Amino acid sequence: MISWRYHVVSIVAVVLAFGLGILAGTSVIGEGFATTLQKNYDEAIRQRDDALSQLAFYERFAEALQPTLRDDTLIGEEAVVVTSEGVDRPARQAADALTAAGVDVLATLQLTRRLAEPEIEDNAAALAGILGLSGSDPESVRAGVADSLAERLAVGSLAAEGDVLGDLLAGGFVTADRDLEADALLGLGGGGQLVVVAAGGPRPTRSPAPEAILVPFTERLVRLDAPTVAVGPTDDAYGYVSAVRDANGIPDCSMVTVDDIDLVGVGGITLAMAIDRLRDDADPTVRPGGDYGIRGDLIVPGAADPPDSCSR
C-alpha cells in the first residue's frame, strides 16, 4: 500500500527533474537558478524516502496490533460476502479479514455481469421468470433483483424449491466461491447473519455503476434490519462505498462502511472493530453503525464521538 503522500512527492520529483533537464540545457538560465532546482529535486527525493520509511513503520505497527484488535474478536459470527464481477478484489480482502477475526464466512457470492444486463432480452426473460415478474422492463428487473436477493439474505429460505438464490446460481446470474449443497444453500441468510457487500477499485469497462444493483440491494438490506457492512478500497474509481454513504435511503450509522480494507493492517482492524460496535449496541440513543476509514467520519471506532447524525 503506497500512500497519497508518496505519489505526490514522486510526481513533484519527476516534474522537477524534467524541468531541470530542460533548463540546464539552455544558455539563458543562470547557474543559481539551476542550482536551486537541483536542491528542490533532492529535497523532493528525500521527502519521498522519508514518506516510504514512515509508511513502512506504520504498517509494521498496525500488523503488530492485529492479534489484539482483530484476531478472534468476532468468534461466533456468521457472514455472507457479496460482490460484483470485475470489482471483487475487496471481497477477497474482506473475507480474509473476517476469517482472521473469527467470523465463519459461509460463502462469497459474486453478481455476474449478466445479472446487471437485463437490456439483453434473454437475460431479462430468464430473470423475470426467476423473480416472478409479469414484465421484463430492464429497470423493473434490476429493482426486482435487488429486492429479492436482499430479502433472501436478510430473511433466509425454508425450502430449496423456489429459492431465488438457488435459481440465480443455477442460471449463472450469481456464482459462489464454493460448492453449495442443498443444506449449505439453505443455511445462507437470515438468523442475524452479517451481509458484507464488498466492491471497488478501477472501474471495469463493462461493469454497471454501483447504483444499478449494489446500492439498492444495500438499501433494501438496511430496511429489512439485516446487519449490513459495505467495504471498499482506498483507491476506488468504482465508488460503491461512496455511493452507499450518499444514498438517501440509508440513514446515517444504520450500517457500517469501511473505505480502506486494503490498508495494510489497519483495514482488517477497522472492519472487526466496526462490526463489534455494530453488534454491541450499548447506547440506545445512537445508531451503532458508522462510516470508517480514510474518507469516513472516523478512522476507527472510538477515535472520537460519533457525529450528531448518528442519533436516533
Distance CA(116)–CA(245), nearest Å, equals 21
29 pLDDT tier (thresholds 50, 70, 90): low
- Please list, residue by residue across 3-16, b when 16 or more beta carbons sit within 10 angstroms of its beta carbon and e when fewer do: beebeebbebbeeb
Percent over 90 (pLDDT), the chain: 54
Characterize the bridge pairing of strands 174-176 and 104-111. antiparallel
| Strand ranges inside 17-164, DSSP E | 78-84, 104-111
124 pLDDT tier (thresholds 50, 70, 90): confident
Q: Is the pTM of this model over 0.95?
A: no
Tens of pLDDT, residue by residue over 228-275, are: 999 999 999 999 999 999 999 999 999 999 999 998 878 898 999 999
Residue 133: pLDDT above 60?
Answer: yes
